[in-house]
Amino acid sequence: MIRVPVTLGARSYEVLVGPGARHRLLEVMPTGVARAAVVTQAAVDVAVDPGVEWKTFLIGQGERAKCLATVEELCRGFARWGLTRADAIVAVGGGVVTDVAGFAASAYHRGVPVVHVATTLLAQVDAAIGGKTAVNLPEGKNLVGAFWQPAAVLCDTEVLESLPPEEYQSGLGELAKYAFLGAEGLADLPLAERVARCVEIKAAVVAADEQEAGQRAVLNYGHTLAHALETHASDIGADLRHGEAVAIGLVFAALLARRLGRIDDERVEDHRRVVTRYGLPAELPAGADASRLIDLMARDKKATTGLTFVLDGVRGVEVVRGVERSDVRAALADMDTVGEEAR
């Protein structure tokens, strides 16, 4: 079992990575917990035993369940059951579950402990780590949330063997991101080491900037367009998973960085090569509207001073503010050129 510490003073915790990690739940439960509310989804076929009295609370499937109504329903269920601050929440599932359960944990009784049992690749390398919790609004992704660190995270790589192929591929989009944050050669590592390496990188960034005052924003590399695409997908009838959107966002970020003179053609090709090696898309979905995407990107949480992006450059990946709409529109148009080159 690989143990990765997330060092945050009094809020420090460990991430356990490896086959069978879910069976370590009892040993990572907060001391003195009397009961546990297990939040999961009907499609998550992963059994856990918190070692105390517990009750299951189901939420819906997909991004539609990641909303304020779901949080309210959970908290009302907790209240009816009598959950107190002396108890805990256990989130068992992927990114939707860890985000929703984590946000509910931050708000219920002004904060109760939460342990994440991450069951998807995306959750194990990203969503369950670092304490960022959020739900969506019709106006955009992750616009309502809180920073609420878990008491522990369990990344059981054994459960990934039964993931549907499309769910596993979605997680590969986040893996692709880490290739540009210092994790070159990930594809050549055994699965548990691959997950642990991503966790180590995220843990180091979170420890340096827990509440995203600056450096932590680099973990959103590729996500500005990705979140816009996920919101826009329903407008154009596109079936787009988060990791696929991130992959497209990575290529777009490289094209925008090249247009701004931050990187060269070879570095753009590096992005496309990493994305396509994982079998992920590198082009905008059919019917995508550039004006709509730009408007959605302007609502991004990082956008405090005009259009804001995380972009590659000579100093590595960093936040770039005040990007002109004309450059963003041109980079979106460049996506078509990348697609033609790939074909």
Residues annotated catalytic, as ranges: 110, 132, 174, 202, 212, 216, 220, 223, 227, 242
Q: Which residue is it, tokens 């992005």?
A: 271
Inter-residue contact 218 to 283 (CB < 8 Å): no
* CA–CA dist 206, 216 (Å, integer): 6
**CA angle, residues 31, 37, 43, in degrees to nearest 5:** 130
Map the chain to HEC letters. CEEEEECCHHHCEEEEEECCHHHHHHHHCCCCCCEEEEEEECCCCCCCCCCCEEEEEEECCCHHHCCHHHHHHHHHHHHHHCCCCCCEEEEEECHHHHHHHHHHHHHHHHCCCEEEEECCHHHHHHHCCCCEEEEEECCEEEEEEEECCCCEEEEEHHHHHHCCHHHHHHHHHHHHHHCCCCCCCHHHCCHHHHHHHHHHHHHHHHHHCCCCCCHHHHHHCCHHHHHHHHHHHHHHCCCCCHHHHHHHHHHHHHHHHHHCCCCCHHHHHHHHHHHHHCCCCCCCCCCCCHHHHHHHHCCCCCCCCCEEEEECCCCCCEEEEEECHHHHHHHHHHHHHHHHHHC
Instruction: Indicate the length of the chain as a whole number.
Output: 343
Token pair of 295, please? Answer: 């408007």
d(C-alpha 181, C-alpha 223), whole Å? 14
Confirm if 127 and 121 have CB atoms less than 8 A apart.
Answer: no
